[in-house]
Every structure is written in structure tokens, then in C-alpha cells.
């Protein structure tokens, strides 16, 4: 290679590196303790928490405005809002002031009620995900998501969303990763203990980042009670737990990541988690059991 050619090559490498460094971003995991039915109080608390720590992308818990332990559908109706409702508007206002993006879980009122997550930014609503795999009594109140697993291109990389119990179905994270998601924003209301460790595998098998934002506290409503496990975390494409929060405290945890790292799908030089897949050998429909 001639001197000039080598120089151009080095400059190109440096330019790509600088571009990658520029695309490093800061995740703000918000771990809150919502009060059942206190939408305005909960929203104010979330905005206070977000305002206390600067991030590029804030990830908030599932149903973080309404609370979780519903007794009747009419409660969900009363505490739900459209995807461009008052909460989205206030989070857009926050995003505009801070130049950030926000993912938050909410009860969505549309033709049906959905357990949804919205992604908003300085220019407004970017997109909505409707929880595909409803957990336990959620099935009494919400319709299952009907739009699959969409992804969205943000200035720092491609982001997808899944919600809480979606973690137990590997297809959720896989669908997002196959669509090019570099970071999975994962609003949650975890009650079982397995998810925080399981997300290590979800990230490793897809070589993606995941930001799981859980809530804390015990919610008691209409004779039912649930305790949420906190433990919000950010996991890297190599399965490293970059940040993990406590089981019981509200707060914001900041974590700097380089989303470009999730573009590299190799585990070893000859083993690539996407190219090594054998879909022709998989059972994709209903299992043939019994």
C-alpha cells in the first residue's frame, strides 16, 4: 500500500472511530414506586427523578403512571390515556428541554386497552409498543399487542421495546435483534425473581444492550397485593451487568454505552449468532406435544 493510500485508510479509521465515540450515549434507568391510581402524583415524581440526572435516553417502568394491581376493567379505563395523551405531552416537553428521549410504560386507551410503552423525543411521539405477552391477570384487562416488535432509529442507534414478561419468550428479544435493535428498552413491573439474570442470556444470545427499568414497593389494592423486585439493570451484548439497582429504592442509575458494540454479532471469529442460525431446523409453530 502506498504512503498516501495508507494515510487515507488511517484517516478513515479515525473518522469512523470518532463517529462511533460521538454515538456513545447515556442511559438513565428510572426505578420508581408508583401509588395505585395516582397518575398525576406518579408523573410528577417521575419528572423529578428524571430531572435529577442527565441522560440521553430515560427508561421508565411498565404502567408507571397508573400502578399495576387492577381489580376491574373500569379502573384501567379510568387510568388509561391515548398514546399522545397528557403523559406523553409532558414527557415530550421534558425531552424538548433536555434534548433527550423517554420510554415509559402506560395503560393505552385506543380501540382496546393495551399495556403499552411509548417512546417520545424532542419532536414528539416516536412510536408505541403494545405488550405482546400479557402476564397473569393482565389478561383480564388488556388486549394482547397487535403490532409485533417495532424498532426506531434514534441519533445514537436503533432502539426497540419489550415489556416485562416478554422476557420469558426468547422470540421477543430475538425479533427486535433481527430487526436491528442495538438497545432494548424494557419497562417492567417484575414480581418473579428470574428476569434480571435471564436478561444476561437474552443480551448474550442476541448481542444487544438491554435496559430493564423496574418498579419497587408493595402495592395493595382491593384485597390483592404484589411486591415488586426492583433490580433495574443495564446489560451489555457480552452479557455483562453494567449497572444493577437495589431491590427497594427509588432513584435513577446512569450508564454510558456504545450502541455500535451491538452491531458486532460474533462470539468467536467463526461463530456469529445471526449467521449461525438454522431456521430450516427449527420448529416455529405450535409444539407437537401429547
Using rule CB under 6 A, residue 108 touches ligand ACM: no
State the Cα–Cα distance between residues 59 and 181, nearest whole angstrom: 15
With respect to ligand ACM, which residue has the nearer C-beta, 69 or 95?
A: 69
- Output the CA torsion 154→173→208→282 (10° steps): -130
Identify whether 255 is a catalytic site residue: no
- Distance in Å, CB of 136 to ligand ACM, minimum: 7
Number of residues that bind ligand ACM (CB under 6 A): 7
Binding mask 53-92 for ligand ACM (x = CB under 6 A): ---------x------------------------------
Identify whether 195 is a catalytic site residue: no
With respect to ligand ACM, which residue has the nearer C-beta, 47 or 191?
A: 191
Identify whether 164 is a catalytic site residue: yes
With respect to ligand ACM, which residue has the nearer C-beta, 141 or 156?
A: 141
- Distance in Å, CB of 133 to ligand ACM, minimum: 8
- Helix (H) or strand (E) holding 187, with range, is strand 183-187
Long-range contacts of 171-176 (CB under 8 A, 24+ apart): 172/132, 172/133, 173/202, 173/203, 173/205, 173/206, 173/208, 173/210, 174/205, 174/206, 175/148, 175/149, 176/149, 176/151, 176/206, 176/208
DSSP letter at 81?
Answer: B
Among 35, 71, 191, 242, binds ligand ACM (CB under 6 A): 191
With respect to ligand ACM, which residue has the nearer C-beta, 66 or 182?
A: 66
List binders of ligand ACM among 142-171 (CB under 6 A): 164-165
Length of the chain in terms of residues written: 290
Which residue of the set 64, 108, 138, 164 is catalytic? 164
Which residue of the set 64, 75, 108, 131 is catalytic? 131
- Which string of b and e fits 237-275 if b means at least 16 CB within 10 Å? beeeeebbbebeebbbbebebbbbbbeebeeeeeeebee
- Distance in Å, CB of 215 to ligand ACM, minimum: 9
Residue of 250, 236, 225 whose CA lies nearest to 61: 250
Q: Catalytic positions, please?
A: 62, 131, 164
Binding site for ligand ACM (CB under 6 A): 62, 135, 164-165, 189-191
Amino acid at each position: 500500500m502506498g504512503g498516501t493510500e495508507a494515510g487515507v485508510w488511517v484517516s478513515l479509521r479515525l473518522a469512523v472511530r470518532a463517529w462511533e465515540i460521538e454515538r456513545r450515549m447515556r442511559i438513565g434507568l428510572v426505578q420508581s414506586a408508583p401509588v395505585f391510581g395516582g397518575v398525576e402524583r406518579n408523573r410528577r415524581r417521575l419528572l423529578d427523578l428524571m430531572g435529577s440526572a442527565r441522560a440521553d435516553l430515560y427508561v421508565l417502568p411498565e404502567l408507571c403512571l397508573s400502578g399495576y394491581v387492577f381489580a376491574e376493567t373500569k379502573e384501567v379505563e379510568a387510568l388509561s390515556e391515548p398514546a399522545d395523551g397528557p403523559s406523553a405531552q409532558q414527557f415530550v416537553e421534558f425531552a424538548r428541554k433536555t434534548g433527550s428521549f423517554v420510554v415509559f410504560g402506560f395503560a393505552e386507551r385506543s380501540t382496546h386497552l393495551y399495556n403499552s410503552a411509548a417512546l417520545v423525543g424532542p419532536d414528539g411521539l416516536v412510536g408505541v409498543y403494545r405488550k405482546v405477552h400479557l402476564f397473569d391477570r393482565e389478561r383480564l384487562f388488556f388486549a394482547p399487542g397487535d403490532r409485533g416488535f417495532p424498532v426506531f432509529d434514534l441519533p445514537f442507534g436503533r432502539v426497540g421495546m419489550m415489556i416485562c414478561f416478554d422476557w420469558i419468550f426468547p422470540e421477543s428479544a430475538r425479533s427486535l435483534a433481527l430487526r436491528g435493535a442495538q438497545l432494548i428498552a424494557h419497562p417492567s413491573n417484575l414480581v418473579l425473581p428470574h428476569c434480571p439474570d435471564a436478561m444476561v442470556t437474552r443480551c448474550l444470545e442476541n448481542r444487544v444492550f438491554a435496559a430493564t427499568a423496574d418498579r419497587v414497593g408493595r402495592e395493595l389494592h382491593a384485597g390483592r397485593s404484589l411486591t415488586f423486585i426492583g433490580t433495574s439493570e443495564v446489560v451489555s451484548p457480552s452479557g455483562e451487568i453494567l449497572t444493577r439497582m437495589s431491590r427497594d429504592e427509588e432513584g435513577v442509575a446512569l450508564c454510558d454505552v456504545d450502541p455500535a458494540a451491538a452491531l458486532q454479532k460474533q462470539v468467536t471469529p467463526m461463530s456469529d449468532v445471526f449467521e449461525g442460525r438454522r431456521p430450516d431446523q427449527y420448529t416455529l409453530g405450535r409444539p407437537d406435544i401429547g
